[in-house]
Amino acid sequence: MEAILRSIQSTNRQFERGPGVAKKIAELFVEVLAAAGVERIYGVAGDSLNGITDSIRTRNGIEWVGVRHEETAAFAAGAEAALTRKLAVCAGSCGPGNLHLINGLYDAHRSRVPVLAIAAQIPSQEIGSGYFQETHPEHLFKECSHFCELASSPAQMPRTLDIAIQTALAKRGVAVVVLPGDIALLNAENDDRRVNFRFSQPHIVPRAEELDQLAVELNRTTRVTILAGAGCAGAHDELIQLAAKLQAPIVHAMRGKEFVEYDNPYDVGMTGLLGFSSGYHAMMNCDSLLMLGTDFPYQQFYPKNARILQVDIREEQLGRRSHLDFGVVGGIAETLSALLPRIVQNSDRTHLDVCLNHYREARKGLDDLATGKPGQRPIHPQYVARLLNEVAADNAIFT
């Protein structure tokens, strides 16, 4: 116990500095995070994180949120980033501490939310020696991050952290900074901070001739189905207007549910391994499938004989799940706004009505499962969800 207390006191003394004394790297690190709008860091304290946690303790505006397991820290940061659309941060000590972050970081990265992970590292002079708890996070986290670098010198700070934060924000994903505990306690060599961290949201619209061609494709048939994903966030009004013009049923992918399903008279449910029959039916029985802001992964759920059209902000996603007849790069809301005047009103509701009827039957089958009686044990989970839905306010949010 005395040894632990001496270590803590030694660490505290390193942060007691008078006028003109240089900041420690850990202090600068925390200041940059605060300037980027970070209000909390989720993690489990450990000796290689002492510099970071002690810097947090001595300043206002940013707090350390202790969790029982680092995996929880990464999932918490991912959830915060998803709900706020702002940068969230988690941290793990060297070795198994930061390895435990990996599940949550994969989740955040695939969900495309901005998360910064602080992966503390063993003493820098021991790297490469097979030291106790030695791992190489800069390699281990490569697959679940857009940026993952080791800060092995004070001269790299705060630039390395600046780049990590901006990358997480710009690419909407994970960035990892690997920071040895001894480096965190060294004096910073400069304080050239870039404090205007921001996520730019430009309006990206396809060229006029591309919009004309997309309209030709959609106007050529009366049986169009729309598959809408998470990229439809903020485009609900435009999506409904397009469906009304095309008389098209709207199928949603799982991550599109919260943006697509509500107040939607054209909704025919979800498809995929977690979907149900009406969504599958609407896609398999169309002449043209219009994919909007989705990277829907299940190849076996795509129609084989329909023409497939795709709009996505990420060009690398065009055609990577199925054959593609025509694709354009653009944000969904602004692209649909530009496309709508080019769409001819479809007066044939046959395809839409068949799909809506199929949806009602499929929903009835699901609702029939959500039954129960007061006092009945065990309680079916679908019955619980049904009762919650009945008593909840229209704007209630469940997490």
Q: Are residue 264 and residue 227 in the same domain, yes or no?
A: yes
Coil, helix or strand at residue 75? helix
pLDDT for residue 312: 97
Average pLDDT in the chain: 90
CATH number at residue 237: 3.40.50.1220
pLDDT for residue 14: 47
pLDDT for residue 277: 92
Q: Which of 260, 257, 231, 230 has the alpha carbon at shortest distance from 248? A: 260
Going by pLDDT thresholds of 50, 70 and 90, the confidence category of residue 201 is confident
Look at residues 184, 218, 252 and tell me which one is the last residue of a structural domain. 184
The secondary structure of 218-273 as a DSSP string is HHT-S-EEEEE-GGGTT-HHHHHHHHHHHT--EEE-GGGHHHHSTT-TTEEEE-ST
For residue 188, what is the DSSP state?
P
Cβ–Cβ < 8 Å for 274, 289: no
Measured between alpha carbons, how far is 327 from 308 in angstroms, rounded to an integer?
8
pLDDT for residue 172: 92
Q: Which residues pair with 88 in a beta bridge?
A: 115
Number of domains in the chain: 2
pLDDT for residue 378: 85
pLDDT for residue 195: 62
Whose tokens are 């795709």? That residue is 310
CATH number at residue 90: 3.40.50.970
Higher-pLDDT residue of 397, 97: 97
Q: Are residue 30 and residue 131 in the same domain, yes or no?
A: yes
pLDDT for residue 225: 98
Q: What's the 3-state SS for 327-362?
A: EEECCHHHHHHHHHHHCCCCCCCHHHHHHHHHHHHH
Q: What count of other Cβ atoms lies within 10 Å of the Cβ of residue 217?
A: 17
Q: What is the mean pLDDT of residues 225-249?
A: 97
| Residue 200 belongs to a domain | no
Higher-pLDDT residue of 239, 128: 239
**Segments forming the whole domain that contains residue 137:** 2-184
| Residue 261 belongs to a domain | yes
CA atoms within 13 A on the CB side of 289: 29
Higher-pLDDT residue of 372, 390: 390
| Residue 154 belongs to a domain | yes
Chain segment 118-176, per-residue pLDDT in tens:
999 998 888 889 989 889 999 999 999 999 999 999 999 999 999 999 999 999 999 99
Q: What is the mean pLDDT of residues 41-53?
A: 94
pLDDT for residue 396: 86
Q: Are residue 171 and residue 223 in the same domain, yes or no?
A: no
Q: Are residue 256 and residue 374 in the same domain, yes or no?
A: yes
Cβ–Cβ < 8 Å for 135, 99: yes
Which pair of structure tokens corresponds to residue 147? 């940026």
Going by pLDDT thresholds of 50, 70 and 90, the confidence category of residue 21 is low
Chain segment 160-193, per-residue pLDDT in tens:
999 999 999 999 999 999 999 999 999 998 887 6
Going by pLDDT thresholds of 50, 70 and 90, the confidence category of residue 370 is confident
Residue 11 confidence (pLDDT) above 50: no
pLDDT for residue 27: 94
Q: Are residue 57 and residue 120 in the same domain, yes or no?
A: yes
| Residue 134 belongs to a domain | yes
pLDDT for residue 197: 73
The H-or-E segment that residue 181 falls in is helix 181-184
Going by pLDDT thresholds of 50, 70 and 90, the confidence category of residue 266 is very high
* Lowest model confidence (mean pLDDT) among 136-145, 242-251, 387-396: 387-396
Counted residue by residue, the chain has a size of 399
pLDDT above 90 as % of the chain: 76
Chain segment 336-357, per-residue pLDDT in tens:
999 999 999 999 999 999 999 9
| Residue 146 belongs to a domain | yes
Coil, helix or strand at residue 45? coil
pLDDT for residue 194: 66
Burial class of residue 147 (count of CB atoms within 10 Å of its CB; 0-12, 13-18, 19+): buried
Measured between alpha carbons, how far is 123 from 289 in angstroms, rounded to an integer?
55
Higher-pLDDT residue of 76, 397: 76
**CA distances in angstroms from 61 to 32, 42, 115, 157, listed in the order given:** 12, 15, 19, 21
Going by pLDDT thresholds of 50, 70 and 90, the confidence category of residue 13 is very low
pLDDT for residue 382: 85
Going by pLDDT thresholds of 50, 70 and 90, the confidence category of residue 20 is low
Higher-pLDDT residue of 398, 241: 241
Measured between alpha carbons, how far is 196 from 16 in angstroms, rounded to an integer?
29
Residue 7 confidence (pLDDT) above 60: no
| Residue 238 belongs to a domain | yes
Whose tokens are 């706020």? That residue is 84
| Residue 202 belongs to a domain | no
pLDDT for residue 343: 97
